[in-house]
Amino acid sequence: QLQLEESGPGLVKPSETLSLTCAVSGGSISSTYYHWGWIRQPPGKGLEWIGTIYWSGSTYYNPSLKSRVTISGDTPKNQFSLRLNSVTAADTAVYYCATYYGSGSAFEYWGQGTLVTVSS
Amino acid sequence: DVVMTQSPLSLPVTLGQPASISCRSSQSLVYGDGNTYLTWFQQRPGQSPRRLIYKVSNRDSGVPDRFSGSGSGTDFTLKISRVEAEDVGVYYCMQGTQWPLTFGGGTKVEIK
C-alpha cells in the first residue's frame, strides 16, 4: 500500500518561497500511470487543488497559482516536491500530497498533511 | 473552470437515519472516453481526506456499503443509508474531467 509523507518548514516569511517534499513508500513515483498531486486547505476552509505531476513528468497547475508554482519529481529519492513563490498570508494552509492511478484524478492515497503558516 | 456546487452546507442527521448530499457541476463531467470523473471524499475531524467513491458510483475497498454514489452529467448524489457516529465529518465532491481540478465547497454532516 502506498504511503505518502509531507515534510518542510512550518513557517515561511511573506514574499519568500514555500518548499515542501512528499516522500513516497510502497511504490515508485515513476510507475506507469501513477499521478502525484498537491492539494491545500486553509484553516477552516475547503480543499484547493494546486497541481499534479504525471509518472511521465508532465505537469498541470491550477491557473490561479500557475505563475508561482513548480512541482517536480526526484525518482532516485522517490519523492516529489512543491515550490510556491512569493507567498502571502493567503497561502497559509495545510498542504497535502496525494496520488491516484489512471485517469480521472481521483486521489486515492493522501499524506497526513502539513501546516504551513506564512507570517513574519 | 468547472464550478462544483454542493448542498446542503450543513446536514444534521439522527443516528440510523439516511442522509443525502447533492453535488452539481457547471458543465457536464462526461469525458471523451465516456467516463464521468466525479469523486467523493470524506474528511473526518482532524484527518486527511479519504476517497469514498470514484467515477460516480464505484465504492472504494473498505468503504461501508451504506455509502452510495449516483448521478450523471451535471447532477450527482452521495447517500448514506443509515448514518453512524463515525460518519461525522465534511464530505467533498471533486471533478477530474477537466483541468483545473475543482472541489465542491463541502457538506458538514453532524449528529442531531
pLDDT at A83: 98
Q: Is A44 near chain B, with CB under 8 Å? A: no
Element containing residue A94 per DSSP (H, E): strand A93-101
pLDDT at B92: 98
Q: How far apart are the first and last CA of chain A?
A: 39
What pLDDT does residue B110 have? Answer: 98
Q: For residue A52, which residues of chain B lie inside 8 Å, CB to CB?
A: 101
User: Is residue A66 scored above 90 in pLDDT?
Assistant: no
Which positions of chain B have pLDDT values less than 70?
none
Which chain A residues have a beta carbon less than 8 Å from that of B39? 104-107
Q: Are B51 and A105 in contact (CB < 8 Å)?
A: no
From the list A46, A63, A103, the residue facing B106 with the nearest CB is A46
Phi, psi angles (nearest 5°) of residue B65: -75, 0
For residue A12, what is its C-alpha cell? 515561511
Q: What is the mean pLDDT of chain A?
A: 96
The arithmetic mean of pLDDT across residues A62-81, rounded, is 96
* Distance separating alpha carbons of residues A51 and A20, to the nearest angstrom: 13
